[in-house]
Amino acid sequence: MDTLRYRDTMKLGTLLVNSACLAFVSQAAANEKCGSSEPEPEALQAAAKLRDAQRAEGTPFRAALQRRDEGLLVTTYVHVVEDQQHAGFVTDKMIDDQMTVLNETYAPHNIQFTVANISHTVNDAWTAQARIREKALALRRGGYDALNLYLDTGLMTNAGSATGLCSFPVEDPVGTGINGTSWAIYDGCFVSPGTMPGGPGVPWEPADNKGKTATHEVGHWLGLFHVFDGFDCAGDGDFVDDTPATQVATVGCPVSQDSCPDQPGLDPIHNYMDYASHDCITEFTPLQEERMYRSFNTLRRGKAAKCPGPQAPTNFAYRNHPTFDPGVPKTSWQRPQPEDVAKARVHQNGKHPSRAKE
């Protein structure tokens, strides 16, 4: 946010893990949704550079739109993490429906996500506390340009938990980090199964089960901050110039909300990067789209995560929901479908097939 603003948001249809987030407990109000912290210096530095590059190049920001016409096809690894009481809660249909929502909400921007593997883990210890590093070391797959989506019942059952959290991209994911662990290890998005299609929603908003929490969290993974970041009408905000200034996290869907009356534009309550209800959020702005492409192509594409995740066997039965003593992860993997393998190979070759319905 800065000098370029709009009265109405234009329509174009990291978590950097810290100690507060590691407990899966939000210290904010009862309606806290996203556990992604205020961006750390590495993420802020990367965002500022990308914003400045956008401004310097001007419309149509061709460097930002590298491969824009071809779109982005993001290889995605889904990890279901459940406690024994909720083993089997996340069904095949819920996963399919969640990926459909994710692809539908990003389709106007020519970004799609193709599932390469789905893992299932039952571990009471992992759901009682975040233990993000443990989960990532055991489960994370692919490079820094592969989305790892964790559907964790701990976010649904623990009192005070946020409904999702995710990492921001940084310039050097291997050489920088926290407590001696690189950001690449922590890279990924966690989403409460309660917010998935077919889930029970959240205690303060049962209707927040339309799958859009994943849309919000993946926005962070693609380099977007909260539109209210900094809670300051005059600050840098989300480092995107066409999201109107706002200093509050929206609750519900207050159509005329204007928390920065001295700045142009009403609050962008319909933006996926706000906290409005699932029925209310419907859009990214043009420059948010630019930022997602620029972030992926500049900060993620082609970078190795250097994370010793497991190699997926192809002879395990799908969805056998093993149980075991806490702390000893066992997983079952879905064999990739031929079309998914073909898409992944096309993506690795730097080409993108014409967009098709997933």
Residues with a known catalytic role? 217
**In 3-state terms, what secondary structure has residue 73?**
strand
Identify the DSSP state of 295: H
Strand pairing category for 111-122 and 72-82: parallel
Structure tokens at 166: 């995710």
Task: Count CB atoms within 10 A of the CB of residue 54.
Answer: 20
Structure tokens at 191: 């989403």
Task: Count CB atoms within 10 A of the CB of residue 59.
Answer: 8
Is-contact 285 240, C-beta < 8 A? yes
Pairwise CA distance, residues 321 & 315, whole Å = 15
Is-contact 190 152, C-beta < 8 A? yes
Strand pairing category for 181-182 and 72-82: unpaired
Structure tokens at 16: 């950097």
Give the DSSP letter string of 135-199: HHHHH--S-TTSEEEEEETHHHHSTT--SEEEPPP-S-TTT-EETTEEHHHH-SEEE-GGGSTTS
Pairwise CA distance, residues 224 & 327, whole Å = 33
Find residue 115's DSSP bridge partners.
76
Structure tokens at 204: 């303060």
Helix (H) or strand (E) holding 80: strand 72-82
Is-contact 245 235, C-beta < 8 A? no
Identify the DSSP state of 334: P
